[in-house]
């Protein structure tokens, strides 16, 4: 595949880029465009790779890849591979970031695989993988990105980026904005199904995890130019409504007069109706009939249902508002009218069978079938999820549908996805779109190592939890006597940013599949890998810039950035990895990758700041620009993690 000539500007010095075609010919003719002096030969060494996880394929266009060093290098190696093995048309360049400094900044790892491929075809001109590596290196087109290259071990091509190019790229980002470093994914629209609590039941810490993780995934996708439908798939349909409605009628014979305050605590109301349901068989029967009447659309039942939903909704919204999370509700009930035709379609395809009075789909590899119509004729969680998936694919034209729930629901989703594949709604190949993903997460534990609960063993109310995080942060600010020179509003906003940020970050920094222990002292500590530490680090950078008395906007226009000192270079290289890290976190649906990046960024900055004098040094302008770039990248990370940055401490 060829790229447009304008996109080459990034790869090539202007003088050598008249057109790609002539450039390719040129690169084949030249023996080695890279200076021989820059090529050290390393022979037998084992290399450590950052072989983490696969990325989804993105558009191979260099203009699109601004800021994504890995992708830009992949383009350069693609050209070299085309020149090295012109007959092999399907060789994808494998470029990874090096985790060990002495092996350069990035590596191309194609040689070994390519050698065995050629050998399998009966030889080829190379003596072994190292020779393939040498040829790949030799055929690299001239590019201002690369300072030097070397071949190590079985043909790994190590790349050292040019300081000048790195500095130039960072300055360009400072001028054009960090959004130019956004990854470009190959999909246009995604659904992120997250939070999704159940009406009249408590919104527990599991829903808090889903809300926090789901919001970050949505933010990362949105930043990557994907149109995201943020779906709150609330549990607003089902048999529990029968008893809730009957209990409501019993308590308030004059339903019109009922309002939120009359019902009071919806959870207590739920408990009371459940008690009636369990204790009184006559009530139970009425409740079961109420479900049918509700589902039949009888007005009185519909109105009562809507009222109960509205009360829950207000409660949920208060949590979303505090967390600054946007969601659009399309609850289970929304899909109800579509269920019969979806099931009919599946039945016509021969997928649905009768089993013990129910209608089910048998799926290979599962010892239970997926029940799509219960034996009483009612629909269930699976009927709704199959239909919602159908709707998202066909009506909403989503290419990637992501479900964020606890790992306990994994099997349910695996079964739904498998059924959709058999029905031909989804491709069977794992890497093709449209695609579905279940983003599972572990439990939230209390300090006793058991499921997180309050002292009274009741479920923790989310609002209380957020209140406590905020008031604890506020207490720290007051202890530090910030109230002497900050306004009441500033204290309040900072306490909120730090408190809520701490709760979010403590959740996001762990691999989501592991359980995590909820501990206020730990998450609110200003040491270690916490939001507090990171927010303070950002504020400190802002204060360095303020103290310099310089106008950074002006410096961006007129100043020059250079990365001469070792610690400047390490920091600069880390900044340049932002785009590929966001892409990795996003495509693998792992926010902890971004957290780890942010923490390391802050560590690299500390090292730079302790070894390189900023204010009053000869390099002041360049170093202030590096400070500003670090602050910009940190702020974007905070934004993607749903954390509000603070500017002073
Ligand atoms: N309401 C469910 C629960 O609280 C989560 C729903 C997740 N989304 C879905 N499409 N099933 O466990």
57 vs 218: which has the higher pLDDT: 218
pLDDT digits (tens, 9 = 90+) for 200-227: 887 888 899 999 999 999 999 999 999 9
Judge whether 592 and 217 are in contact, CB under 8 Å. no
Q: How confident is the model at residue 21 (pLDDT cuts 50, 70, 90)?
A: very low
Q: How confident is the model at residue 63 (pLDDT cuts 50, 70, 90)?
A: low
Q: What is the pLDDT of residue 13?
A: 34
604 vs 122: which has the higher pLDDT: 604
544: tokens are 């360095």
CA–CA dist 505, 592 (Å, integer):
9
Q: How confident is the model at residue 29 (pLDDT cuts 50, 70, 90)?
A: very low
Average pLDDT score over the chain: 88
Instruction: Give one DSSP letter per residue of 511-580, joined into a string.
Output: -TTS-EE--HHHHT-SSSSSHHHHHHHHHHHHHHHHHHT--HHHHHHH------SHHHHHHHHHHHTHHH
Q: What is the pLDDT of residue 261?
A: 66
CA–CA dist 373, 386 (Å, integer):
12
Indicate if ligand 1 lies below 6 Å from the C-beta of 242: no
Q: What is the pLDDT of residue 65?
A: 77
Q: How confident is the model at residue 38 (pLDDT cuts 50, 70, 90)?
A: very low
Which of 192, 206, 233, 333 to mutate for ligand 1's pocket (most ligand atoms within 8 Å of CB)?
A: 233
Q: What is the pLDDT of residue 26?
A: 32
Indicate if ligand 1 lies below 6 Å from the C-beta of 405: yes
Full-model pTM? 0.89
CA of 130 to the centre of ligand 1 (A): 52
Please name the residue whose Cα sits nearest to atom 11 of ligand 1: 385
Judge whether 646 and 539 are in contact, CB under 8 Å. yes
Cα–Cα nearest to 208, from 646, 512, 594 = 512
pLDDT digits (tens, 9 = 90+) for 333-386: 999 999 999 999 999 999 999 999 999 999 999 999 999 999 988 899 999 999
Indicate if ligand 1 lies below 6 Å from the C-beta of 312: no
What does the DSSP 8-state code read for residue 451? Answer: B
Judge whether 587 and 185 are in contact, CB under 8 Å. yes
Indicate if ligand 1 lies below 6 Å from the C-beta of 400: no
pLDDT digits (tens, 9 = 90+) for 422-445: 999 999 998 899 999 999 999 988
Q: How confident is the model at residue 124 (pLDDT cuts 50, 70, 90)?
A: confident
Indicate if ligand 1 lies below 6 Å from the C-beta of 384: no
pLDDT digits (tens, 9 = 90+) for 603-621: 999 999 999 999 999 999 9
Indicate if ligand 1 lies below 6 Å from the C-beta of 202: no
Q: What is the pLDDT of residue 252?
A: 85
Q: What is the pLDDT of residue 451?
A: 82
């Amino acid at each position: 595949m060829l790229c447009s000539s304008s996109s080459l500007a990034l790869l090539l010095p202007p003088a050598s880029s008249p057109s790609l075609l002539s450039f390719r010919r040129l690169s084949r003719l030249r023996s080695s465009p890279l200076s021989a002096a820059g090529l050290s030969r390393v022979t037998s060494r084992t290399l450590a790779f950052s072989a983490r996880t696969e990325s989804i394929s993105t558009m191979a266009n260099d203009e699109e890849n601004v800021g994504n060093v890995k992708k830009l290098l992949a383009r350069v190696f693609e050209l070299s591979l085309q020149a090295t093995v012109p007959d092999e048309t399907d060789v994808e360049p494998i470029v990874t970031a090096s985790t060990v400094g002495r092996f350069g900044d990035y590596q191309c790892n194609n040689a070994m695989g390519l050698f065995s491929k050629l050998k399998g075809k009966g030889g080829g001109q190379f003596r072994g993988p190292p020779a393939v590596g040498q040829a790949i290196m030799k055929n690299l087109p001239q590019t201002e990105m690369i300072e030097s290259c070397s071949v190590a071990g079985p043909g790994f091509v190590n790349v050292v980026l040019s300081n000048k190019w790195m500095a130039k790229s960072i300055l360009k980002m400072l001028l054009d904005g960090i959004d130019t470093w956004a990854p470009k994914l190959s999909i246009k629209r995604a659904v992120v199904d997250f939070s999704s609590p159940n009406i009249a039941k408590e919104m527990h810490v599991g829903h808090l995890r889903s809300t926090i993780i789901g919001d970050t995934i949505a933010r990362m996708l949105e930043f990557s130019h994907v149109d995201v439908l943020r779906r709150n798939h609330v549990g607003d349909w089902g048999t529990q409504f029968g008893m809730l409605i009957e209990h409501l009628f019993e308590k308030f014979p004059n339903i019109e007069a009922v309002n939120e305050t009359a019902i009071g605590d919806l959870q207590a109301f739920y408990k009371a109706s459940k008690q009636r349901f369990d204790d009184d068989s006559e009530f139970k029967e009425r409740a079961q009939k109420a479900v049918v009447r509700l589902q039949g659309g009888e007005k009185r039942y519909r109105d009562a249902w809507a009222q109960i939903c509205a009360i829950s909704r207000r409660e949920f919204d208060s949590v979303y508002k505090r967390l600054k999370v946007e969601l659009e509700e399309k609850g289970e009930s929304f899909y109800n009218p579509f269920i019969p035709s979806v099931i009919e379609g599946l039945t016509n395809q021969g997928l649905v069978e009768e089993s013990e009075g129910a209608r089910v789909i048998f799926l290979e590899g599962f010892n239970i079938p997926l029940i799509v119509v219960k034996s009483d004729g009612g629909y269930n969680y699976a009927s709704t999820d199959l239909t919602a998936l159908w709707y998202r694919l066909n009506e909403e034209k989503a290419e990637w549908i992501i479900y964020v729930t606890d790992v306990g629901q994994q099997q349910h989703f695996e079964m739904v996805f498998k059924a959709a594949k058999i029905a031909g709604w989804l491709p069977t190949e794992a890497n093709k779109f449209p695609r579905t993903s279940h983003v599972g997460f572990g439990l939230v534990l209390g300090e006793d190592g058991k499921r997180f609960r309050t002292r009274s063993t009741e479920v923790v109310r989310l609002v209380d939890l957020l209140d406590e995080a905020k008031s604890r942060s506020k207490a720290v600010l007051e202890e530090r006597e910030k109230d002497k020179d900050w306004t009441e509003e500033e204290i309040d906003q900072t306490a909120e940013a730090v408190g809520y940020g701490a709760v979010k970050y403590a959740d996001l920094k762990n691999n989501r599949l592991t359980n995590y222990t909820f501990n206020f002292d730990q998450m609110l500590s200003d040491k270690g890998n916490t939001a507090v530490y990171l927010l303070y680090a950002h504020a400190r950078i802002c204060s360095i810039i303020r103290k310099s008395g310089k106008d950074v906007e002006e410096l961006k226009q007129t100043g020059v950035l250079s990365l001469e000192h070792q610690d400047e270079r390490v920091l600069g290289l880390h900044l340049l990895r932002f785009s590929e890290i966001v892409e990795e976190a996003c495509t693998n649906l792992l926010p902890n990758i971004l957290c780890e990046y942010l923490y390391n960024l802050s560590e690299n900055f500390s090292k730079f700041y302790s070894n390189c004098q900023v204010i009053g040094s000869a390099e002041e302008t360049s170093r202030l620009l590096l400070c500003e770039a670090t602050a910009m990248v940190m702020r974007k990370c905070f934004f993607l993690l749903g954390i509000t940055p603070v500017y002073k401490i």
